[in-house]
């Protein structure tokens, strides 16, 4: 008999960043397993058609879950936002940022924190994505260490080195950074370092993704040559493949999936020596103190001007990607879902 899993898919249509990529990789692998019967659980019917087109899996509204039989439920979005009748449940808590970087608004803070507290109280198993994230969650929520399994994300096979289209008009070399609308992304340090590292040189900063308003204004004020992009994954893969370096200045990442995606494309990576980034980089990146503008300047100048150093980082990136077992996330997640509730406790 097939093992029936309900997957919390309420964020799946809209989330294509780190968590969304994590979930898609697991679903892709599980779909290849004929012993699994997967159902995507959604809050409303508005997202049903998009999910059916993308995954070719059954989609069920939350109101109908109790009429179906499931062996387990996977909650992959940092908490439990609905109850499932399945006897087993696994919640993946990616980070403790709802507590360590709490929202200043009381209602918003409650909305972010309460699903995580519910997961701790109700899940038969808990997972997170790195040793660093585990320690933060244990400290913030008072969880015993044995309750948190570590299931790191893996890059999709899609991420690989590709040829970069030639621009016949010519173009400047560039440093790439994947931003985000959070203060912890530490983009101000990178902007300040970039301005001094490449002053008078034809190097651009390519910024991918959304930024908080303060960082948008700061980027404009610096007057550094830059481009703001919201690329498709195919274009992002080209950008990784062609960058002088990928900069990851974040002060806090639960894992940093973009790091291993960039490395899988052969990008040299300069990253903050902070949070889980040393784990995800696994010795393949040039690590820099997160708030040291001079150190960031010197690191970028070194990688830009020393071709041997740049090629060494490319080689180390590809080696790091090659060491990753790309089926491990789906396999370990399934093992946790199959565990008996008594064993999980």
Full-model pTM: 0.93
Per-residue burial over 80-110, b if 16 or more Cβ lie within 10 Å, else e, is: bbbebebebbbbbbbbbbbbeeeeeeeeeee
Give me the pLDDT at residue 342, please: 58
Residues 21-43: pLDDT tens digits? 999 999 999 999 999 999 999 98
Give me the pLDDT at residue 189, please: 97
- In the predicted model, is pLDDT for residue 340 greater than 70? no
What are the structural domains of the chain?
A: 3-154+326-344 (3.40.50.2000), 174-323 (3.40.50.2000)
Q: What is the average pLDDT across 211-224?
A: 92
At 223, is the pLDDT very low, low, confident or very high (cuts 50, 70, 90)?
Answer: confident
Give me the pLDDT at residue 139, please: 96
What values do phi and psi take at 286, rounded to 5? -90, 115
- What are the Cα distances from residue 126, in Å, to 24, 239, 252, 339? 19, 35, 21, 11
Give me the pLDDT at residue 168, please: 45
At 345, is the pLDDT very low, low, confident or very high (cuts 50, 70, 90)?
Answer: low
**Residue 280: partners with Cβ closer than 8 Å, 6 or more residues away:** 130, 152, 253, 255, 256, 257, 259, 260
């Amino acid at each position: 008999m097939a093992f029936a899993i309900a997957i919390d898919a309420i964020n799946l249509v809209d989330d294509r960043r780190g968590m969304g990529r994590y979930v898609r990789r697991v679903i892709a692998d599980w779909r290849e397993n004929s012993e699994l019967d997967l159902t995507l659980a959604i809050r409303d019917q508005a997202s049903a058609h998009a999910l059916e087109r993308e995954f070719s899996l059954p989609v069920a509204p939350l109101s109908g879950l109790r009429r179906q039989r499931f062996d387990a439920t996977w909650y992959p979005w940092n908490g439990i936002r609905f109850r499932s009748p399945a006897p087993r449940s696994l919640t993946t808590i990616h980070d403790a940022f709802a507590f360590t970087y709490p929202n200043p608004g009381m209602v918003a803070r409650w909305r972010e924190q309460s699903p995580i507290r519910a997961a701790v109280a109700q899940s038969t198993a808990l997972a997170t994505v790195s040793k660093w994230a585990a320690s933060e969650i244990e400290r913030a929520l008072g969880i015993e260490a044995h309750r948190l399994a570590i299931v790191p994300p893996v890059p999709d096979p899609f991420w690989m080195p590709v040829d970069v289209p030639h621009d016949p008009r010519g173009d400047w070399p560039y440093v790439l950074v994947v931003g985000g609308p959070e203060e912890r992304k530490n983009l101000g340090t990178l902007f300040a370092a970039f301005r001094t590292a490449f002053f008078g040189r034809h190097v651009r900063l390519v910024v991918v993704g959304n930024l908080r308003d303060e960082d948008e204004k700061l980027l404009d004020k610096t007057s550094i040559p830059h481009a703001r992009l919201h690329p498709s994954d195919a274009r992002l893969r080209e950008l990784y493949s062609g960058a002088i370096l990928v900069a990851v200045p974040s002060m806090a990442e639960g894992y940093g999936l973009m790091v291993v995606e960039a490395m899988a494309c052969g990008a040299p990576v300069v990253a903050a020596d902070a949070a889980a980034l040393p784990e995800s980089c696994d010795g393949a990146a040039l690590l820099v103190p997160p708030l040291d503008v001079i150190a960031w300047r010197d690191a970028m100048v070194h990688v830009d001007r020393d071709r041997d150093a740049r090629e060494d980082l490319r080689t180390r990136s590809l080696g790091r990607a090659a060491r990753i077992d790309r089926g491990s996330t789906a396999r370990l997640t399934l093992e946790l879902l199959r565990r008996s509730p008594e064993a999980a406790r």
